[in-house]
Amino acid sequence: MLAATAAMMVSLVAAASSFKPTRPPAVPLAVRSPYLNAWLHGGSGDSLPGAWPRHWTGNILGWQGLVAVDGETYNWMGGAPGPALVDQISLEYTSTKSIFTFDVAGKVTLTATFLSPVYPDDMARQSQQFSYISAKVRCADGESHNVQVYMDVSGEWASGDNSQVVEWDNGASDDIVYHKFFRRTQEEFREANEIASWGTWYLATRADEGIGADEAVRGEFAGNRRLSNTKESNFRPVGEQWPVFALSHDLGDVEEDDVERVFTLGLVQEQVINFAGESGQLAAVPGLWSSYYTDEISALVAFYNDYEHASETSSALDQQIQSDSEDAAGEDYAIVTTLAVRQTFGALQYAGTASKPYIFLKEISSNSDIQTVDVIFPAYPIFMYLNASLGRYLLDPLFENQESGAYPNKHAIHDLGTFPVARGYPNGDDEPMPLEECGNMIIMALAYAQRTGDNAYLSDHYPILSQWAEFLVDESLIPADQLSTDDFAGTLAH
């Protein structure tokens, strides 16, 4: 019995996934904006086969991956019942990638790479709410194997309310086939369970396609190892027979050379933020992407066709951050900094125009405030490190709103409202954190000017910066009862 138990333990250890550089508390999958924000939560054991990806709120985002080898179908991502699970061999993460390696029945090795590129110096590319998924297959036993790969997403991405009806369509452009799906009732600048209630979602690749009920479409691939290029027309609520949008590839006979196929998943929104800026009145701000791409299909195609550049650029950034982090404070520091990159940029919404860009930050995992000063402040070092100009695009909305006269207090505002509505606080009734936010704004404005040499920025905002400095002089020695960034502790005096 003891020998049998020992043998079982050895088997379990052998089957367990390795993690590099460590096992993270959650794994970023598609993380490029507050709404394209999908993770593998730690409760799964960081094992992708059999686990549903989830929004940062914890809500399930139906996202299923299957692979068929020599006529047998296996599950490499998602919680759909049926096919056996592949064995996860390893998970590695970098600043921009999460790389899963799977053993499929000892016959082939499947590597799934989730790439959410970060472009600190390229506003056009960073403005896109799209992400890449690469599926790469090679034989594991020296033999040739017939392989097909499959991916689908559900209507859960398009609505945080499963009672809402989703509609869909498909199409092709420049050899790229895509599914598009969206809420029938579009509610601009509104959310349901932190998921946008407006915009159009896309899943794209160069492949076969199918739309229908989850069990039917997944069952079709499991049984036939391909999709029939059919589209169901029964638009219905997200939670009614769970409509899914599927793509597949027939890789043919796979031998020792890698065979790769790429998918793109993301969201397009014409208007992204409702902002009370210089006028003090709310006005819709377009997605920055629309300054660079003719329409949403051309944006999708450009992103998909940019995969090789994205991979090369991301690998260079990964190496830069890894090396600089190790030089600064060692490998343990790099474990944290590399995991934080997508988490930080995934909280940002790029908006405005090429001549007047803005970056809006959503306070994630708390109360969803927009442009919270004491949340921007601890994130600010990564912007100063990668491209200090990004700091200005974060500060500009705060300066504009307060300099418009729409904020009555003498101290700096705490935030601009609840994402995606940046109304500000005309009554001055924001969270009371006056000393901290005055100091934060002055420090961040100075850091931007010092890094870029843009001293005119300080001159342009001197009146309000001087006002905040005077507030600090008058109020800092004996602080009044107020919050600090640790606002969970409540207000404190002195």
Average pLDDT over residues 345-349: 98
**Residue matched to tokens 């050379």:** 257
Q: Give me the pLDDT at residue 10, please.
A: 31
Asked if pLDDT for residue 410 goes beyond 50, the answer is: yes
In a domain, 345, yes or no: no
Predicted local confidence at residue 211, as pLDDT: 63
39 and 98 share a domain? yes
Q: Is residue 317 part of a domain?
A: no
What's the rounded mean pLDDT across residues 159-175? Answer: 95
135 lies in some domain: yes
Is the same domain home to 105 and 210? yes
Q: What is the pLDDT of residues 229-272, one digit of tens each?
A: 888 889 999 999 999 999 999 999 999 999 999 999 999 999 99
Q: Where are the alpha helices (DSSP H) in 353-388?
A: 373-386
The pLDDT tens digits of the residues spanning 62-77 come to: 999 999 999 999 999 9
pLDDT tens, position by position, 48-65: 999 999 999 999 999 999
- Given pLDDT bands bounded at 50, 70 and 90, which one contains residue 89? very high
Q: Contact at 8 Å (CB) between 410 and 428?
A: no
Domain that holds residue 448: 356-489
Tens of pLDDT, residue by residue over 201-220, are 999 998 666 665 667 888 88
Beta carbons of 245 and 185 less than 8 angstroms apart: no
* Same domain? 117 vs 231: yes
Say yes or no: 382 and 253 in one domain. Answer: no
Q: In angstroms, rounded to a whole number, what is the distance separating the alpha carbons of residues 292 and 366?
A: 33
230 and 100, same domain (yes or no): yes
Our count of domains for the chain comes to 2
Q: What is the pLDDT of residue 484?
A: 83
One domain, residues 302 and 369: no
